[in-house]
Amino acid sequence: MEYRELDINSVVPYLKSVDKVMDYFGSDDLKADEIGDGNLNYVYLVSSMHDEKKALIVKQAVPYLRCVGEEFALGRERMTYEIRALSKFKNIVPELVPELYHVSEDMSIVVMQYLGKHIILRGGLTDAKRYPKFSEHISTYLAQTLFKTSSLFLDSTAKRKLIDEFNSNTELCKLTEDFVFTFAYMQNETNDAQNVKDNPQAQKLFGDMKFKEKVLDLKYKFMTSTDALIHGDLHTGSIMLNENETFVIDPEFAFVGPFGFDIGALVANIVNNYVHHTIVTKDEGFKEYLLETIKEILELFESKFLKLWEAQKDSALLIEGYIDDKTAKHYKKKFLKRILQESVGFAGCKMARRVFGVAGVAEIRGIEDKKMRREAEELVLKIAREFVMKYNNINSNDEILEIIKSAR
Amino acid sequence: MEYRELDINSVVPYLKSVDKVMDYFGSDDLKADEIGDGNLNYVYLVSSMHDEKKALIVKQAVPYLRCVGEEFALGRERMTYEIRALSKFKNIVPELVPELYHVSEDMSIVVMQYLGKHIILRGGLTDAKRYPKFSEHISTYLAQTLFKTSSLFLDSTAKRKLIDEFNSNTELCKLTEDFVFTFAYMQNETNDAQNVKDNPQAQKLFGDMKFKEKVLDLKYKFMTSTDALIHGDLHTGSIMLNENETFVIDPEFAFVGPFGFDIGALVANIVNNYVHHTIVTKDEGFKEYLLETIKEILELFESKFLKLWEAQKDSALLIEGYIDDKTAKHYKKKFLKRILQESVGFAGCKMARRVFGVAGVAEIRGIEDKKMRREAEELVLKIAREFVMKYNNINSNDEILEIIKSAR
């Protein structure tokens, strides 16, 4: 099918040609509302006129940045990678990825489950809401998706095929290279100019060569490690959940990259939230909950990943009979520690880039009181710097918590 | 053009349709001789009946392993990657890659310069021949090909495109994963069974878990690092040379892999030759020359690579204004040391795998006296083990030479 841009009027007629969608609704009396608040794509909520509970989300990419307009070209191929990643992840952890009703790479479109009873994790955490099953769910997501797309599970041929499927997600990989690892630490027109101007913190960061040299190591790792298929943008805005369910959405940045990047993104965003509560709400109980959450996620990730590995006899990396059990155990422990360390390094970059870079996070950039905002930024940068400077020597989850707690 | 297997009779008629080849010969009175002594492909020498000096090499891949026969299937796509790599490398270092007269991925064929006045480096070194320009030439080859296909030179998009072009060289990557990093260190049917049997050295190697755990690290690096386009099989049999010229041939194992692999392969094969002379000829002068050659290659590689890097303002990794000159200098030195270390690690694997693995090298496996051969193998394994166990802590070229010299 040839690509055409849908709008509020043409989206319902388009859906009527998709059997699985019509089976779901059981009626063709449908209405569409545009609900997109995203930067990149058009998003419609299509619902039944007879039964309000029946609703699906339609997401279509256009060949430009939606929030800016047609003059900012951005290939709609990003949806190709989102579709591929959603499909892969859905196969691996079906309970943690929204139901897919229709995908078309030609049309750059995906039709999926409407998460009407779920909220975005970032907002929930900012409102000091607790999610008792979140650590359990997200650690499963990380362990399963990372392990099962790695050379520790796949054979050599399957792994190269996977790299092929995502290797041309060039534009979005470049966005990360530029915005997470480069521009946010130097004078650049894409930065938050108002905040950079006359801000001694910005001058300090931009001149911090020791920090920036370490960031370069992490950038190089990001660009040249093909560990596993990663989500690529796993912040707390890419997670929707409630008391019982957790869904990971928006994997358009997916590619075969370093193990630690998704874990680091998640940790970074929880720490940003921790900083928000430190400065704004001063809710010690919730801060403790956030630290516990980080620790739980990291511990559960490690044990689940190791368990999957124990169960895997042959893979591209290891075959039965190559090493004895004791050595394998030692190797795996060391391997997991390396993942932890790199996660901490990436977490530092993901935090630091939010302070002066192009896309801030609501918890920090949204603080209206300027003095408090500066305090929060200072604390974010302090923790981020520790993460980046020390990641290679981190030995335990407790050391990570200690860095966070002792920063202020 | 559809693929068809050429033979001694059809190769000349095929060439007559290629203008550039006919321009070279200037006459259509040609004859063909099969000269292939390789394992994989058919190789013909096509020469003019009027002018014996005019000759070209025709190399065609067949969809099986030539040396075994049609029952051992091996995709002829390997020639696709050889063609792509020859073309890339020819662009980068034209004086170090044979002239290409015709390539066709469809026909899995390449027609190239006949190197009639050059010999294979392995044979030359075994005969204790010295090549005064070799270090200069091969260090240029390594520095230029590795730098100019890396993220230190290319932009992000060009780098991903390069990965794409070689990422499906699956079968040959898998051969390396299996034969260089796995099977040669365990009981496996592909090993040199006669040598493994009742050989305490083999039992020692197969049971050396500390060594094998380190090999696993290097295997993982081989499988998941996309530093640069590497030759992938740069032993002394892939180099043809004389006093004045050096040519690198046979890059069918090429893919975007770790920086240190080609350097390591080269060092490994020179050290194997050093071991040969230690045990067989006892030619101390030539041994010294080999050590000097290793040192020169490593020193020249580093200085040439750094010089190319200094001249490069922007790349996927670094852009102007990101860090100051002093920090950049420090970062680059550290980066080069890391390349050196990984080269030593890979050299260790490349040496060790030649002892009991499927493809031995003439200098060692060809030693007829069994006692001497065992001595040579023991020495190879001793140096290889040191390389693999210590590579992460190597700080200078002298430390590498010291390991080689002090092994006996």
Interchain CB contact of A167 with B (< 8 Å): yes
Interchain CB contact of B331 with A (< 8 Å): yes
B353 pLDDT higher than 70:
yes
Interchain CB contact of B157 with A (< 8 Å): yes
Chain A CB contacts of B317 below 8 Å: 216, 219-220, 223
Contact A190, A358 (CB under 8 A): yes
Interchain CB contact of A164 with B (< 8 Å): yes
Contact B300, B136 (CB under 8 A): yes
pLDDT score, position B38 = 66
Do the Cβ atoms of A223 and B151 come within 8 Å? yes
Average pLDDT over residues A310-328: 96
**3 state SS of B83:** helix
CATH of domain A119-406: 3.90.1200.10
pLDDT score, position B260 = 98
pLDDT score, position B219 = 98
- Give contacts of A 136-155 with B, CB under 8 A: 151
pLDDT score, position B69 = 77
Do the Cβ atoms of B160 and A168 come within 8 Å? yes
The first and second tokens of residue A272, run together, are 């940003």
Interchain CB contact of B342 with A (< 8 Å): no
Instruction: Provide the number of CB pairs (under 8 Å) joining chain A to chain B.
Output: 109
Least confidently predicted of A323-327, A354-358, B37-41, B94-98: B37-41
Average pLDDT over residues B224-231: 98
Alpha helices in A168-254 (DSSP H): 170-179, 193-196, 200-206, 209-224
- Tell me the C-alpha distance between B185 and B126, whole Å: 26
pLDDT score, position B37 = 66
Chain A CB contacts of B167 below 8 Å: 160, 163-164, 167
B23 pLDDT higher than 70:
yes
pLDDT score, position A71 = 79
Q: Which residue of B lies nearest to A326 if distances are taken between CA atoms?
A: B209
CA distances from B62 to A119, A127, B32, B117 (A): 58, 66, 18, 28
The first and second tokens of residue B271, run together, are 């050290």
Contact A253, A350 (CB under 8 A): no
Helix (H) or strand (E) holding A291: helix A284-310
Which ranges in chain A are annotated with CATH 3.90.1200.10? 119-406
- Tell me the C-alpha distance between A269 and A297, whole Å: 13
> Between B181 and A27, whose confidence is greater?
B181
The first and second tokens of residue A182, run together, are 């480069």
Chain A CB contacts of B225 below 8 Å: 224-226
Q: Which residue of B lies nearest to A227 if distances are taken between CA atoms?
A: B224
Q: How far is B217 from chain A (nearest CA, A)?
A: 9
- Listed in sequence order, the residues at least 6 apart from A187 whose beta carbon sits closer than 8 Å to its beta carbon are A196, A206, B321
- Listed in sequence order, the residues at least 6 apart from B44 whose beta carbon sits closer than 8 Å to its beta carbon are B6, B8, B11, B32, B33, B34, B35, B36, B57, B58, B59, B60
- Tell me the C-alpha distance between B383 and B379, whole Å: 6
B90 pLDDT higher than 70:
yes
Average pLDDT value for chain B: 95
pLDDT score, position A314 = 96
Please name which of A312, A237, A245, A207 lies closest in space to residue A40, comparing C-alpha atoms: A237
Q: How far apart are the first and last CA of chain B?
A: 57
Do the Cβ atoms of A327 and B163 come within 8 Å? no
Q: Which of B156, B212, B326 sits opposite A322 (nearest CB)?
A: B212
**CATH 3.65.10.10 is held by the domain A11-113:** no
Each residue's pLDDT tens digit, A72-130:
888 899 999 999 999 999 999 999 999 999 999 999 999 999 999 999 999 999 999 99
Buried/exposed code over A351-372 (b: 16+ C-beta within 10 A; e: otherwise): bbbbbbbbebbbbbbebeeeee
Interchain CB contact of B244 with A (< 8 Å): no
Interchain CB contact of A82 with B (< 8 Å): no
Average pLDDT over residues B392-407: 97
Chain A CB contacts of B223 below 8 Å: 151, 156, 159, 226, 316-317
**3 state SS of A77:** coil
Query: CA B251, B257, B263, B267: dihedral to nearest 10 degrees?
Result: -80
Q: Which of B156, B177, B213 sits opposite A177 (nearest CB)?
A: B156
State what percent of residues in chain A have pLDDT above 90.
Answer: 91
B27 pLDDT higher than 90:
no
Query: CA A171, A174, A175, A181: dihedral to nearest 10 degrees?
Result: 170
Contact A332, A309 (CB under 8 A): yes
- Tell me the C-alpha distance between B58 and B33, whole Å: 10
- Tell me the C-alpha distance between A348 and B245, whole Å: 50
- Tell me the C-alpha distance between A18 and A58, whole Å: 12
Q: Which residue of B lies nearest to A317 if distances are taken between CA atoms?
A: B220
Do the Cβ atoms of B224 and A223 come within 8 Å? no
Q: Which residue of A lies nearest to B156 if distances are taken between CA atoms?
A: A174
Average pLDDT value for chain A: 95
Do the Cβ atoms of A160 and B173 come within 8 Å? yes
Which ranges in chain B are annotated with CATH 3.30.200.20? 11-113
- Tell me the C-alpha distance between B349 and B265, whole Å: 9
Q: How far is A218 from chain B (nearest CA, A)?
A: 10
A32 pLDDT higher than 70:
yes
The first and second tokens of residue A338, run together, are 């390396």
- Tell me the C-alpha distance between A144 and A300, whole Å: 12
pLDDT score, position B73 = 84
Do the Cβ atoms of B160 and A182 come within 8 Å? no
Q: How far is B135 from chain A (nearest CA, A)?
A: 29
**3 state SS of A230:** strand
B127 pLDDT higher than 90:
yes
Q: Is the Cα torsion angle B315, B320, B324, B329 positive or negative in sign? A: positive
- Give residue B267's identity as a one-letter amino acid code: V
- Tell me the C-alpha distance between A271 and A303, whole Å: 22
Average pLDDT over residues B320-340: 97
Contact B224, B177 (CB under 8 A): no
Q: In this structure, what DSSP letter does residue B368 have?
A: -
Interchain CB contact of A331 with B (< 8 Å): yes
Q: Give the residue from A186, A322, A339 with the most B CB atoms within 10 Å of its CB, the best one to mutate.
A: A322
Do the Cβ atoms of A226 and B227 come within 8 Å? no
pLDDT score, position A219 = 98
Contact A334, A94 (CB under 8 A): no
Q: In this structure, what DSSP letter does residue B185 have?
A: G
Interchain CB contact of B314 with A (< 8 Å): no
Model's pTM, two decimal places?
0.96
A141 pLDDT higher than 70:
yes
Interchain CB contact of A128 with B (< 8 Å): no
CATH of domain B119-405: 3.90.1200.10
Query: CA A80, A81, A86, A91: dihedral to nearest 10 degrees?
Result: 100
Read off φ and ψ for residue A324, nearest 5 degrees.
-80, 165
Average pLDDT over residues B247-269: 98
Average pLDDT over residues A326-341: 98
Average pLDDT over residues A352-373: 93
A52 pLDDT higher than 90:
no
Do the Cβ atoms of B322 and A182 come within 8 Å? yes
Do the Cβ atoms of B224 and A227 come within 8 Å? yes
Chain A CB contacts of B322 below 8 Å: 182, 185-186, 212, 216
Centroid of chain to Cα A43: 19
- Listed in sequence order, the residues at least 6 apart from B98 whose beta carbon sits closer than 8 Å to its beta carbon are B57, B86, B112, B113, B115, B247, B249
pLDDT score, position B28 = 85
- Tell me the C-alpha distance between A399 and A390, whole Å: 10
pLDDT score, position B121 = 98
Interchain CB contact of A189 with B (< 8 Å): no
Chain B CB contacts of A324 below 8 Å: 209
Chain A CB contacts of B177 below 8 Å: 156, 316
A279 pLDDT higher than 90:
yes
pLDDT score, position A408 = 81
pLDDT score, position B97 = 98
- Tell me the C-alpha distance between B291 and B180, whole Å: 24
Do the Cβ atoms of A216 and B321 come within 8 Å? no
pLDDT score, position A37 = 66
Centroid of chain to Cα A90: 16
Do the Cβ atoms of B209 and A156 come within 8 Å? no
Helix-strand-coil percent breakdown of chain B, rounded to 5?
A: 55, 15, 30
A360 pLDDT higher than 80:
yes
Q: Which residue of A lies nearest to B161 if distances are taken between CA atoms?
A: A168
Interchain CB contact of B177 with A (< 8 Å): yes
- Tell me the C-alpha distance between A148 and A340, whole Å: 18
Do the Cβ atoms of A219 and B317 come within 8 Å? yes
